[in-house]
Structures are given as C-alpha cells and as structure tokens.
Amino acid sequence: MTELLNVGKRIKRFRISRSMTQKALGMAVGFPQETADVRIAQYESGARTPKRNLLCRMARVLGVSPSALAVPRIKNSEELYCLLRALEDECGIKLLSLVHISEPTR
C-alpha cells in the first residue's frame, strides 16, 4: 500500500527521519519502557491503528501536524488537487500533466 494511504508507514517515515527508535517514540508518547517499542512496531506494521489522541501525541513528538500522519479524506476538488500535488512531490510523477485538473479558485 502506498505510504500516502498507510498511517503506519507515515509514522515510521517520520520516526526514522528524526533518528528515533521505536522505543524512544513509544516512551515519548507515554508507553511504559517495557512495551514502548512493541506498541510502536504494532502501529508501524498496521497490526494496530492509533486513535486520534495518540496520533496527535505522536505528531507532536515527531514535530509534524496530525494531518501529516493521518490518511487523507478527500471531501472536495480542492482537497483532491492538494493530494495530487503531494503525490507529485512525494513520488516524482507528474499526475497533473496527465489529468487536466485546474487549480481550485480561492
């Protein structure tokens, strides 16, 4: 599954980019030292899905917004446009040159 649609892969990507171990992240969000790494491994593997309040704590520790970790929910054409732009940036592909979608008016 693409990283954009997988919370666990997003958590792992930001954790690694911050040079944090699973144990360090787990302890920073409040898990006991004995189980901190196991709990984070479960979220990163997709065995468990973090609830919103835990996702917010992880985001704070990782220095990102909670929306950076959450799976995008597309509600309108502007959000679709933003997601397509993010795909271009992350994957290096030019979706907008293949699909004729104009930037939403503001």
* Residue 41 burial by Cβ neighbours in a 10 Å radius (0-12, 13-18, 19+): middle
Angle at 17 between CA 85 and CA 21, to 5 degrees: 140
Token pair for 64: 């990102």
Q: Write down the pLDDT at residue 51.
A: 93
What tens-digit pLDDT sequence spans the chain (106 residues)?
A: 455 568 999 999 999 999 999 999 999 999 999 999 999 999 999 999 999 999 999 999 999 988 888 876 777 888 777 777 777 777 777 765 545 555 555 5
d(CA 83, CA 45): 23
State pTM to two decimals.
0.67
Q: By the 8 A CB rule, do 5 and 21 touch? A: no
